[in-house]
Amino acid sequence: MTTFLIRRLLQAAVVLVLVSVLVYGLAWLLPGGPQQGLLAGNGPGAQLGALRRGYGLGSPAAAQYLHWLGQVIRGNLGYSYIENASVGSLLAASLPRTIVLTLAATAIGAGVAIPAGLTGWPAPCPTSGTECRPSLPGRS
């Protein structure tokens, strides 16, 4: 069981890294790069240059990604330019609602699954012996 969990955690880590590389790469595929995306495509040249210097967008994309990844590993998730706040504070602000939603979904799921499991629904089909999922509960 321990090796299974370790293997799954390693697989999850690989997927997270691959998704982050994909999303980071997509930002560089924008016409004009990520800085043009931050300015919504209508910034003058001087504004683009200041943005590149201010956010360190002048270095190669791979170096920027490794810098970002190092910051994320240290717990610094960065800054949201749209919300004008740190990403960590935005996540902390939405955490209570997320917990309430998760608990409500778990309660609803358990409220449906436990009675369904105790009553034996779906019942075996009389003709084939396999599971039969009736269209209406109580009617086969």
Same domain, 7 and 72: yes
Q: What is the pLDDT of residues 97-123, one digit of tens each?
A: 999 999 999 999 999 988 877 776 665
Three-class SS state of 127: coil
Q: Is the pTM of this model over 0.95?
A: no
In terms of residue numbers, what domain contains 41? 2-76
Q: Which of 27, 57, 76 is the last residue of a domain?
A: 76
Verify that 123 and 67 share a domain, yes or no: no
Q: Is residue 81 part of a domain?
A: no
pLDDT tens track for 15-45: 999 999 999 888 878 776 666 666 665 666 6
Cβ neighbours around 35 below 10 Å, total: 20
DSSP bridge partners of 79: 86
Same domain, 102 and 55: no
CB 122 within 8 A of CB 133: yes
Q: Is 56 helix (H, G, I), strand (E, B) or coil?
A: coil
- Same domain, residue pair 12 and 47: yes
